[in-house]
Chains A and B, each alone.
Chain A
């Protein structure tokens, strides 16, 4: 049963600390997305990759967020330094891009104190 995996599932950290979230997409999918979900804003697209190349990261605060895909089985989202307003659930999703279905991972719940 192929699924997207994310680690950690929960992260509590203090303001100013570095946070790294990891995602393993479904094998064979060529597009990986990072979303942030809050009660106020709903689901926001932060960045996405196709064939490991970044296609769009316009939704991401560039000064503190960075996203990479070091290989086809791993995507990372890093926040440095973290701030309380970054508290949210971060979802990774994978698929074949474009208008097609995306398969979501279980999410990382981040709390920045």
Chain B
């Protein structure tokens, strides 16, 4: 059965800290790994990764995929209180996306 597992389940840091969120996957006919950010509403898209070893960056956020070890990480540097959210990882196959349960990040001032 396909599955996506995220760790840690929750994390509390202080502003300015750097965090790493983990996502491991077992997805049949794997094609892509996606990261979403969910605040109090709908998930919003962050990154889509399809190739190993190529880092994607957007401001203070970056992500990389390892297709050999079947995992991805999402890094956030110099965290801000606005980064507080649930971060969802999803594995994409031919059919659709399989979501992990998310990592809840709380950034304290």
Contact = CB atoms under 8 A, between A and B. Distances in A.
Given A33-B96, A43-B102, A98-B31, 6 more contacts: A41-B101, A43-B43, A98-B92, A99-B31, A99-B50, A107-B41
Interface residues of B, number: 23
A25 interface: no
Contacts of A102: 45, 97
Interface of B: 30-32, 34, 41-45, 48, 50, 88, 92-102
A54 interface: no
A23 to B, nearest CB: 12
Interface string A63-77: 000000000000000
Nearest to A4: B42
B99 A42 contact: yes
B32 A99 contact: yes
Interface of A: 31, 33, 41-43, 45, 48, 55-56, 91, 97-107
A101 B95 contact: no
7 contacts: A43-B88, A45-B96, A99-B30, A100-B32, A102-B45, A104-B42, A104-B44
